[in-house]
Amino acid sequence: MSTGTLASSLATGAWPQSLTPDALRVIDLPTPYLVTDLDTVAARYAAFGAAMPGVSTFYAMKCNPSPEILRTLAARGSSFEVASIGELRMLQALGVDPAGVLYSNPVKAPGQIAAAAGMGLWRFAFDSPGELAKISERAPGAAVYVRLAVDDSTSVFPLSRKFGTDVEDAYDLMLLARRLGLRPYGVTFHVGSQCESTGAWRTAIRAAGTLMERLRADGIELEMLDLGGGFPARYLAGEPSIEQIGEVIAGELAGLPYRPGLIAAEPGRHLVAESSVMAATVIGREMRGDEHWLYLEVGAYHGLMEPLQTPGGWDYPMRSSLPDDPEAPQLPFTLTGPSCDSSDTIAYGVKLPATVTVGDVLYFGSAGAYTLAYASSFNGFPPPTPIFVGTGDPRAAR
Whether residue 307 is preceded by a cis peptide bond, meaning omega within 30 degrees of 0, is no
Q: In angstroms, rounded to a whole number, what is the distance separating the alpha carbons of residues 391 and 40?
A: 10
* Cα dist from 184 to 100, 198, 219, whole Å: 18, 28, 11
Cβ proximity of 197 and 239 under 8 Å: no
Active site residues: 340
Q: In angstroms, rounded to a whole number, what is the distance separating the alpha carbons of residues 336 and 308?
A: 11
For 69, how many CA atoms within 13 A lie in the half-sphere containing its CB? 30
Q: In angstroms, rounded to a whole number, what is the distance separating the alpha carbons of residues 341 and 96?
A: 41
| Paired strand residues for 60 | 81
